[in-house]
Amino acid sequence: MDSKKSNVNLVVTGLLLGLFMVSLDQTIVSTAMANIIKKLGGMESFIWVYSAYMIAMVVSTPILGKLSDMYGRKRFFLLGLVLFVVGSIMCGTATNMEQLIVYRAIQGIGGGAVMPIVFTIIFDLFPQEKRGKMMGLFGAVFGISSIFGPLLGGTISDGLSWRWIFYINVPIGLLSILFIWMGYRETKQTRKQIIDWTGAILLTAGILCLMFALELGGTDGWAWGSWKIVSLLAASGALLVLFLLAERMAKDPIVNLSLFRSNLFTGSMMVGLLYGGAMMAGATYIPIFVQGVFHQTATQTTTVLIPMMLGSVVSAQIGGRIAGKFRFRDVMIVSALMLTAGLSLLAFAMDTSTSRLIISLYMIVVGLGMGVSFSLLNISTLSSVPPQYKGSASSLIAFFRTIGSALGITVFGVLQKHDFQEQLRDVPNLNPQLAAQIKGGQALLDPAVQAQMGMSPDAVNALLSRLADSIIYVFQWSVILPVIALVFVFLMGRARLSAMPAGAPAAGGGQGRPDASPDNAAGTEPSFHGG
């Protein structure tokens, strides 16, 4: 990519709009779901509105990232934007829950192209000394969208119509398409390329089996020990093993396994996986805890995550700006220690008597620890690979984060439900059928459900107290994740983002040399430095 021929302001604006649109859609649906169910029905299947989006994104991300390496960033970024906008329009016109689920999957495929390619284009477009600042800016978009998503979802669905939470993507997406089309110039690829169809099919099938198992496990008719879940997990394992074997023999694999020879690359992937799980603990269970303890409705708790996300926005900016001044490992050590401290405060210093102010302060610490990863892991990942693999590498960090989130919400859900059911055994005179009906306890947060169950206020409070205790139990387990992440942080070695000499051309797209560091003085094979 020839940065001199690109209109940098137009490109950056288009990238920011595209990333904001896709990341916003991960959260905007949550507070609008009640209105969607009222209009479309489908109470028994609404969870797939979220799951279809995430599964489609997980499956498409590594494949589209690789294709962007082969055939160019611009065309696949624009393809992702078009698919996302078309999917949004279709979601807004859905007349039943089944249609909405299918249309959300189309959105997810588009998002699987947009998310990783954004960061690859930034790495191609800017010289090394400016990449950290830009990555911090783009990393902060995740936190901003997490703040505004639930707020916009509730406001738009209550004031206009739930359909407008999807239609709002159309002007944003069209502007992003226009700016990238007009402003971004890319050097054409000339080498002969082969699509690894075998790898793509095996990866897609393996991930689909895994995600279906994670999404369906523990639901009615899909017990974790049932033959259906066991079969899905076994099939996923077998297919992914076949995928790895196929990649070793492929001439141009979807995932180049040699990238994992770099300790910096492998460490970044594993930290992203573990941080993805840790983020889900806070984002999922803090609102439930506040609802139960402070007797607030879901609408009243739409702002409860703001302290955590503000902390994330601030630290994402800081992480990007200091990336060139310190080793990746040193910055991530501070991040992991702060995240461990924040989750420890939620796990061991919080109880049902803790005030909202104190909980907000704990959440800020969690956000400060988490946000650094949004910018720094993208920088460390892209710094560890040659230019021809940057699209694939950027897609893989998004892939590992999403898989970590899916695993985190599943494992924590099982732990919370089990602990809550164990605590119910100590509740005197509790109807066993009622105990089974409330499962993980979230149903207790709905006043209509409380009335339907015919429980007294004292009984409800007793059960909500146990729900809060089960959530604290989840936070206690979540502390393990950043502690394990510290091990992989040390694996990242002494690598850092070193500024190039004044007047040197920007890296990427055939312009200039790859990243150099004190551990890779020659600067010829960055995929193996920093170990």
219-272 pLDDT, tens digit each: 667 787 888 889 999 999 999 999 999 988 888 787 888 888 889 999 999 999
Percent above pLDDT 90 for the chain: 25
Q: Give residue 394's pLDDT.
A: 82
Q: What is the per-residue burial (b if ≥16 Cβ within 10 Å, else e) of 147-176?
A: bbbbebbbbbbeeeebbbbbbbbbebbebb
Q: Reduce the DSSP state of residue 517 to 3 states and report it.
A: strand
Residues 430, 436, 442: CA angle, nearest 5 degrees: 95
Of 214 and 448, more confident:
214
- Indicate if the alpha-carbon torsion angle 475, 428, 443, 289 is positive or negative: negative
Contact between 106 and 90 under an 8 Å Cβ cutoff? The reply is: yes
H helices present in 425-511, as ranges: 432-438, 447-453, 457-478, 480-491
Contact between 117 and 108 under an 8 Å Cβ cutoff? The reply is: no
- pLDDT tens per residue across span 348-379: 999 888 998 999 999 999 999 998 988 888 88
Residues 339, 342, 343: CA angle, nearest 5 degrees: 85
Percent above pLDDT 70 for the chain: 83
Look up residue 159 and give its two tokens. Answer: 């004031």
Q: Reduce the DSSP state of residue 219 to 3 states and report it.
A: strand
Provide φ and ψ at 193, rounded to 5°: -130, 150
